[in-house]
Amino acid sequence: IDSLSLSTNHIDDIFMSSKDREIVLSIFKAVYNHRGVRIDIIGTRHRHYVDTCIAIASCIRNNLYLSFKVIGEIFNKHHATIIYYCKNHKALYSYDKEYIEMYEIAEKVVDSYGINRNMPHTPLKEDTYYRMHVNDILRRENKSLRDNLIRCEKRIETLTGKIQKLSNISNW
Rounded CA separation 117/8 (Å): 24
Region 53-67: what's the mean pLDDT?
A: 91
pTM over 0.75: no
pLDDT tens digits along 72-121: 999 999 999 999 999 999 899 988 999 999 999 999 999 998 876 554 44
Residue 109: which of 6, 10, 26, 7 has the closest Cα?
26
pLDDT at 140 over 80: no
The mean pLDDT value of the chain amounts to 87
